[in-house]
Each structure stands twice: as C-alpha cells, then as structure tokens.
Amino acid sequence: MSNDGAADKLETATLAEAVRGGDRRALARAITLVESAKAAHQDESEALLAALLPHSGKSLRLGITGVPGVGKSSFIERFGQHVIAAGHRVAVLAVDPSSKLSGGSILGDKTRMEDLARHPAAFIRPSPTGGTLGGVARRTREAMLVCEAAGFDVIVVETVGVGQSETTVADMVDLFLLLLLPSGGDELQGLKRGIVELADLVAVNKADGELAEAASRTAAEYRAALHLLRPGAETPVLLCSAKTGQGIAEIWQAAEAAREALAASGVLGHKRAHQARAWMWSQVHDTLEARLKADPQVAAQLPALERAVMAGELAPATAARRLLQAFLGPRKD
Amino acid sequence: MSNDGAADKLETATLAEAVRGGDRRALARAITLVESAKAAHQDESEALLAALLPHSGKSLRLGITGVPGVGKSSFIERFGQHVIAAGHRVAVLAVDPSSKLSGGSILGDKTRMEDLARHPAAFIRPSPTGGTLGGVARRTREAMLVCEAAGFDVIVVETVGVGQSETTVADMVDLFLLLLLPSGGDELQGLKRGIVELADLVAVNKADGELAEAASRTAAEYRAALHLLRPGAETPVLLCSAKTGQGIAEIWQAAEAAREALAASGVLGHKRAHQARAWMWSQVHDTLEARLKADPQVAAQLPALERAVMAGELAPATAARRLLQAFLGPRKD
C-alpha cells in the first residue's frame, strides 16, 4: 500500500469503486496512477478515468492565483474551512511547473495548510512535479476529475501569478479568483501582463489593521480598471483578510453566485465542452512537438535552424518546412 | 504582367533586385508570390525570401488595432502622411482573417485611404484572403519582410480589435497601438478581453469638437487602469483627431521614442529573435494539425472523439492518444 507500484496490482474497477466510496488511500493511489508518465500505466490510467468520468463534472472549479506574498495558502486554508462549514467537500490541487521533486514552491510544504489538510472533508495535493507546463496541467486536470468522482464538490486549483500557468489554469476551471495585495496602486504587484483580465473575481487580501484603508483604495482602483477592461461584465472586487476571516464568506457567496449565473445561462456547459476540446488539441500539439523533437533527423537540424531563424538569416516558414520534411517526409500535394 | 503566373517566369534573383530597386510592380509581384499557397510556388517563394531577408528588419514595425468605428483608416491615412512628411516610407499591411476574396472588411476598399495610397512613398496592401488566421498572418509577416527589403522603414500592420488576430499581430510587430473612442468610460468599446494589455501605446481618437472633453476623460481613465495593469511600464495614453490632425505628431514621436528605448536596451533584438522562433513553431504546429486532420484514419475517428470529449464522456488525454496513434502509429517507449 505504501509504494506507488501497488496501484498496478489493484483492479481498476475496484480502485474506481473505492475512490467513489470515499476511501482516501484509494483516492491518493488513483491520482498517483493518472499522474504517472510511464507508458505501462497508460492503459490502466485510461480505464480508471473512463470509469470515473461519468461521476465527475459536478463540482465548482475555482482557480486561485496571486503573487508570492499575497497570502494564498492562508487564504485557501480559511476559505476551505468556510466552504466545508457550509456543507461542502474541498479538494485543493496545484499547478506549479517550477516545483521540484523535493517539494515545490507551492503546496509542497503541506504544513502551510495544516488545519485544512487534517479535515476529513478536505483533500490537498501538491503540484505534480517535473515535465512541461502542459504535462503538469494535464495531470492536475485529471486529478481534478478523480477528486470530483470521489465526491469533492469544490475544487480549488492554485497557481502562482507570475508565469504562463494562469492561462492554463483559467482553461480548466469555471471561475478564476485573483488575490491582490493592498498596494495603494503605486507599488508593483508583480503580476504578469494579462492576468488581471483573466479574473472573474478579484479579492484584496490583508484588508485588516493598518492596511485596511490601502486595501479599500486598491479595490476601488481595480474596480474602475476592470470596468474599462471588461465592459458589460461587472467583475466583483472584494476585500478580505485571511488572518481575521473577514470577507471570506462574501467571496464564497460571490463565487457561488457567479457559478449559478454561468450554469443558468448555459455558458457553463458550453465553456466546459470547449475547455475539454481545447485540452485534447493542446495535448495533441504537445505530443506532436515532443515526437518531432525526438526524431533523429529533426534533432540533427533543429539547433542550426533555430539559430538561423533567431538571427534573421532564415525565414521562419522555410525553417518550419525543413523541420516538417525531416519529420514527415516531403509534402505530397 | 497582369496575371499571377508572371511571377513564376521572372527569375527570383532579378525579382529580388527589382524589389530592392524600388520597382512597385516587382514589389506587388513578390508579395503575391510569398502569399501564394500553391506548392509549385514554394521553392521560388523561399528563394526570394532568402534573397531579401538580409535586407529586411530595419523598419519600425507598428501594429494598430481598434474596434470598427474608431476611425482606423482615417487615422492611418493621416498618420502615414505625417510619417512620410518626416522623411520615411510607409507600408500598410493588414491581418483580417474574416476578409473575403471579394474584398475584406479592412483595407479591401482602397478608396478608404485614397490620398495615402497615391503617395509614392506609401504602399498599401489589403489582408491576404482565405485560410486560417495562422495562414493569413504568415503571409502578412512575409509581406512585411519584402516591404522592408524594398526600403519601407515604417510598416503599419492593421487589424480589427474584436478577435484573436491582435495577439498574432502583437507577435509580429515592435509596438502595438490601440485606438480608442472617447467613450466616457461607460459605453462599450467592444474590445476583446486581453487587448488593452497588449498595447504599448494608446490613443483616444476623435478628440475634437464636442467629444474633446469625453476623450480627455477616457484617456485619464485608461491611464489609471494601465498604471495598475502594467506597473513599472508607463504606457503612453494620448489624444488625437484623425479629422483635424491634432495629436498625430505626438503619437509618431511616442512610437519613435518607444522604439529607440527598445533598441537601446537590447530588448528589440531579443524580442524579434523570439518572435521569429515562436513563428517557426506556430507554423510547425499549424501544419502538423492540418496534416493530422487530413489523415484518413484520423478523419474517420475525429468527429466521434471530439463529440465524446465535449460531452464529458471521454477524457481529453485518451482522445488525444487515439488521434496520435491513428496519425503516427503506436507509441514505442
């Protein structure tokens, strides 16, 4: 039971049933299986997902991002407890392509969410380690499906607000919450360009004590900015304090209301269907690129072609054609 | 000379020389050649690009977008004339995947920029028609290289602010200018989410007469919003009127200053090298996807797989693996 190999031996159907029955060891084992990059695990992993898929999809999927220092773990700890107290079961997953085997920069250190982690209605899983963003995200997405089949009806997907992973997370959730610092509008939030516009909900954390006033000011500024950027859609900008708990209930309320509006308008079903299809295609592209790069004929030419393209000595289209010819053979039409 | 086939007959080297010598018919013919999707033209087109590439890259590449009604053509007409008066040669290209053979929604109607089009120091080319956004953009990008080799030192790439083409255009230019209407901050600008954050320069057009005050207010609001969204980088937000010509000189000044700063810091070379590489990869992906979709084994399965994925009956990863197996054969590792 304690080694990863155990998953191989347990029948898929039995494992799927144990997951659905709420067995936490089975859940962990199932996620380990779908996270496995080993070819030998692929059939089993796919059979497991096929068995669980009909029971997935019923959760509220919430992405959360914010720069380091904004207090994401404390927020999720408070927020998770509130949501559990409201009668839900919460799974917290993470997408962090920078995380190492030794424990990632987010959620690797479980002690950061100690109370939530101990709660029987919560499940916390650190980011899958190693591989490309696409690979890490695929495994998180599949872990999400497994958690849903296990009866978790709120899935929080955490990421750091400084890289490309936000777009990827936004593409797998129903709603995206951006946590901000009370910055007074002058200091840097260090967010990557484009992230603010991904947000369906914004919350200014640390809105307590002497930062309360700065937090209100920041909220007002972002409210005005979002009004310009996303005309028509009023993005809620709220205040909260993970320390005192103030505002946490309102954020959950806003998330539930936004989710209900999405479902009632039919946008949710549409969004999820398109997310799933886009996901399929992004994996097709990732795999094709990996296979192309692994091709010996391509590998022999790629460094020189990339160098020439970057130096402006070769047109990108010409380089692309050479790579494709090396990989697929000459064009026939 | 009047049919496209003529390009085939002229020796590539002679054509390249004529382009560089400022022959406008040769320029038009060269662009027609690099825009051609015919396999028979590919070798010739690549040879031409190879001959012209060493003479390209010296222009200021400026993307311009804004919703229909913002006055893009009148702006470009005024702006182009100002830039020409300052001693430059201006080429105006367009990326509009919605354009039809019968004349696209932008620049198809040349009469819209009548005075500029007649100027010997200007060259105006409508959007390539047909094909995917990737295809349209590739052809525009290559037309840009040809124009540069022909001595145009300011290239304006126009697009409409309502689709995906903005990101694509931002990926091929040095600077991206967003034109806004004096909206008073309440009305819809109709811009797609994410476009404001792409802008390196913002200009509120129609800042004349009774709209002057609303334009100033809009500029102030966007200035505040951009300050939050892009902390550290002060994005210039200017006022102009394509009708009176007011503010046009300031926009050109701001573009030149931004371009000089990019060049002086070394960011420009870095940016262009990465744009070229990303371009190569996006073409590799587009072509692989097209080849995959054209594969009879894939085509037989794709509709059912997409449907099952969108209905939540099949995991995207499983569908992706089946498509790849149909295309490339079973995985070997």
Which of A277, A284, A324 is nearest residue B287 as measured by Cβ atoms?
A: A324
CB contact under 8 A, A317 and B221: no
DSSP character for A26? H
pLDDT for res B228: 79
How many CB pairs (< 8 A) connect A and B?
190
DSSP H helical segments within chain A, as ranges?
6-9, 12-20, 24-35, 42-52, 72-85, 114-118, 133-149, 165-170, 212-229, 248-265, 267-294, 296-310, 316-328
CB-based contact, B194 to chain A, within 8 Å: yes
The interface pTM score, or ipTM, of the predicted complex is 0.84
**Confidence tier at A324 by pLDDT (50, 70, 90):** very high
Among A residues 232-291, those touching chain B with beta carbons less than 8 Å apart: 232, 272-274, 276-277, 279-281, 283-285, 287-289, 291
At A139-184, the pLDDT tens digits run: 899 999 999 999 999 999 998 766 778 888 999 999 999 999 997 5
Question: Do the Cβ atoms of B157 and B169 come closer than 8 Å?
Answer: yes
| CA-based nearest residue in chain B for residue A332 | B39
Q: Produce one character per residue of A186-223: b if its CB has 16 or more CB atoms within 10 Å, e if not.
A: eeebbbbebbbbbbbbbbbbbbbeebbebbeebbebbe
Most B-contacting residue of A280, A298, A313 (CB-CB within 10 A), to test interface: A280
Q: What does the pLDDT look like over A307-323, one tens digit per residue?
A: 999 999 999 989 999 99
- What is the structure's pLDDT at A69? 84
- Contact of A57 with chain B, judged by CB distance below 8 Å, is answered with yes
Enter the DSSP assignment of B123: E
Q: Which residue of B has its CA nearest to A43?
A: B318
**How high is the pLDDT of residue B104?**
43
Rounded to whole angstroms, the Cα distance separating B103 from B97 reads 12
Q: What is the pLDDT of residue B190?
A: 64
Which of B168, B235, B288 is most worth mutating to test chain A (most A CB atoms within 10 A of its CB)? Answer: B288
The whole-number pLDDT of residue B330 equals 66
Kindly report which listed range (A10-19, A203-212, B170-179) carries the lowest average pLDDT score: A10-19
**Residues whose CB is less than 8 angstroms from the CB of residue B260 and which lie 6 or more positions away in sequence, other chains included:** none
Distance from CA of A34 to the nearest CA of B (A): 10
Taking the CA of residue A215 as centre, how many other CA atoms within 13 Å lie in the half-sphere pointing to its CB? 22
Percent of chain A with pLDDT over 90: 62
Q: Which of A13-17, A103-107, B134-138 has the lowest mean pLDDT?
A: A103-107
- Sorting pLDDT into bands at 50, 70 and 90, what band is A257? very high
Continuous H helices in B36-164: 42-52, 72-85, 114-118, 133-149
- Contacts with B, A 121-180, CB within 8 Å: 138, 141-142, 145
pLDDT grade for A101, boundaries at 50, 70 and 90 = very low
Q: Does B277 sit within 8 Å of A49, measured CB to CB?
A: no
Mutate to test the interface with A, among B145, B228, B235, B331 (most CBs of A within 10 A): B228
- The residue in chain B having the minimum alpha-carbon distance to the alpha carbon of residue A230 is B193
Q: Does B329 touch chain A (CB under 8 A)?
A: no
- Which residues of chain B are under the pLDDT cut of 70? 1-10, 99-111, 161-162, 184-191, 231-232, 330-333
Per residue in A49-99, pLDDT (tens digit) is: 999 999 999 999 999 998 888 899 999 999 999 999 999 999 999 888 775
Nearest alpha carbon to residue B314 among A46, A292, A119, A234? A46
Note whether B280 contacts A305, CB cutoff 8 Å.
Answer: yes
Report B:296-325 residues touching A (Cβ under 8 A): 305-306, 309-321, 323-324
Q: Given an 8 Å threshold on Cβ–Cβ distance, is A316 in contact with B276?
A: yes
User: In chain A, whose CA is at the least distance from the CA of B167?
Assistant: A194
Q: Find out whether A143 and A126 touch, Cβ atoms under 8 Å.
A: no
> What is the Cα–Cα distance from B5 to A283, expressed in whole angstroms?
41
A239 φ/ψ angles, rounded to the nearest 5 degrees: -110, 145
The answer to whether the beta carbons of residues B262 and B233 sit under 8 Å apart is: no
Residue A46 is nearest to which of B46, B145, B318, comparing CB atoms? B318
> What was the pLDDT predicted at A149?
97
Q: State the pLDDT at residue A233.
A: 73
The string of pLDDT tens digits covering residues A149-160 is 999 999 999 987
CB contact under 8 A, A277 and B189: no
Instruction: Give contacts of B49 with chain A, Cβ < 8 Å.
Output: 315, 317-318
Q: Note which residues in 83-102 of chain A have CB less than 8 A from chain B.
A: none
Residues of B in Cβ contact (< 8 Å) with A194: 194, 197
pLDDT band at A228 (very low <50, low <70, confident <90, very high): confident
pLDDT at A286 over 70: yes
Q: Which of A129, A69, A124 is CA-nearest to residue A99?
A: A129
B25 touches chain A (CB under 8 A): no
User: What pLDDT shows up at residue B294?
Assistant: 94
pLDDT (0 to 100) of residue A194: 74
Cα–Cα distance, A180 to A173 (Å, whole number) = 19
CA angle (A142 as vertex; A138, A148 as ends), nearest 5: 150
- Poorest-pLDDT segment among A35-44, A179-188, A287-296, B268-277: A179-188
Measure A212 CA to nearest chain B CA, in Å. 19
